Amino acid sequence: MSDTLRAPHAPLLDLVDGSGLAEEIEAYLATLPAPARPSRPYVSPLGSTLQPWNAGYPLPRRTLLDRVVRRPARPADVTVAGHLTLTSRYLTAHGWLQGAMWDAAGRVCLLGAQAAVLAHGYGTPYTVRRARAQVMEVLHATGRPVDSPDAYNDHPTTTRADVHQLLAHAATRALHLGI
């Protein structure tokens, strides 16, 4: 049996007879493209960028007629699920509060966040009423029978995370209902 033909369990180095075959293989492998890396999200070493609470939603724009007659822009169309998502984002951006609609620092309660989203031109009062109905449905379905979402917001055991989770469940419910 020759030195280059050994059993399959023999180490690779034993197969090389010093004729330059190893260098030739390494040169060939160097010309091949690098293997694909596993897909991982890119994380910038410089940090992250904050996005506005209304990112991904169109800004309400005043038309020329709106400017001439000095009226506010027409509200941007937002679904009930979109309104609940924006409410949660607004709470994240400005802070959450219990016992008042807003404070001097800009923090808001659940109702204050919904009012702020509406005041920024997202949806209509009808959208807000339907969104509050979805929140009430989730509260009652999860065994928290309260008179209003505001009573739940102001309950001493309620946390900011509870409010965000409530809004997420209500948004999911509204999305499944197509509203």
Q: What pLDDT score does 9 carry?
A: 54
CB contact at 8 A, 130 and 79: no
Q: What pLDDT score does 28 carry?
A: 80
CB contact at 8 A, 174 and 80: yes
Q: What pLDDT score does 38 carry?
A: 55
Where does residue 43 fall: left (phi above 0), alpha (psi -120 to 50 degrees), or beta otherwise? beta
> What's this model's pTM, rounded to 2 decimal places?
0.71
Which residue's entry shows tokens 């808001």? 108
Along the 179 residues of the chain, how does pLDDT read in single tens digits?
455 555 555 455 545 455 677 788 788 878 877 766 555 666 667 666 678 999 999 989 888 998 999 988 889 999 999 999 999 999 999 999 999 999 999 999 999 999 999 999 999 999 999 999 999 999 999 999 899 999 999 999 999 999 999 999 999 999 999 99
CA distance 150 to 138: 14
Between the CA atoms of 107, 108, 114 and 118, what dihedral angle is there, to the nearest 10 degrees?
-50
Q: What pLDDT score does 51 carry?
A: 84
Helix (H, G, I), strand (E, B) or coil at 124: coil
